[in-house]
Amino acid sequence: MLENPSSLAYLPLLIVGPSGVGKGTIIRKLIGTYSSLFSYSISHTTRIPRCNEIHGKHYYFVSNSEFSAIKEAGGFLECVEFCGNNYGTSIAEMNRVRSNKQIPILEIDIAGYVQLLEMNFKMRSIFILPPSLDELRTRLLDRGSDIEETISKRLEIAKNEIEMSEKIFFDSKIVNNSVEKTIQEIDKQLNSWYKDEITKL
């Protein structure tokens, strides 16, 4: 069972946004700065690992049958299908982070975020936007892990996600023109939301 976050002095931080917008880079920098306060809640996925991705660090890479077993057992807080692969945030992983007295950071897409909203899950949320879809396309190409057809599909999904974000509540929305400026903006939010915890660092 997942501990009710409303009973905690701090709430999980969700970084939400389209594929390729820079969520992973932002999270790594935040954890590097606030390593004793935040910890990455590692998602499960059925997709094939990209170059340099490590099981248990970037994702828990599992088979479709393993993913289905966790889902059927009620082990996911949220789970979605994206570009033919499944992704999910496990309750066990959230509890692992909290057992270390740290705030979980989740990297999810907007469909997973909507699931949490519908559950009235208590959290802090930041939606990361690209400067433009053309820039997002460039970032996806530079990543070098997808074929043209997959990139086109990701861009179409990104367009829909951005449109959805205009109709859904987020605590903050930030355009990721540069990682440094984005981190500065997020720092301001963190010092407001987690002021008591940050002052103890």
Q: What's the pLDDT score for residue 8?
A: 47
Domain assignment present for 146:
yes
As a whole number of angstroms, the distance between CA 130 and CA 162 comes to 9
As a whole number of angstroms, the distance between CA 137 and CA 141 comes to 6
113's CB contacts (< 8 A; 6+ apart) are 14, 16, 78, 125, 168
Range of 56's domain? Answer: 5-195
**Number of compact structural domains in the chain:** 1
- Residue 167 φ then ψ, to 5°: -110, 0
Domain assignment present for 155:
yes
For the chain, helix (H) and strand (E) counts, in that order, are: 8, 9
Domain assignment present for 122:
yes
- Asked if the model's pLDDT at residue 1 lies above 70, the reply is no
- Residue 74 φ then ψ, to 5°: 75, 30
As a whole number of angstroms, the distance between CA 70 and CA 64 comes to 10
Domain assignment present for 201:
no
Domain assignment present for 200:
no
Residue 157: how many CA atoms within 13 Å on its side-chain side?
18
Q: Tell me, what DSSP letter sits at residue 168? A: S
| pLDDT tens sequence across 97-153 | 999 999 999 999 999 999 999 999 999 999 999 999 999 999 888 877 677 778 888
User: Sorting pLDDT into bands at 50, 70 and 90, what band is 3?
Assistant: low
Say which CATH number the domain at 116 has: 3.40.50.300
Specify the pTM. 0.89
Count, residues in the chain: 201
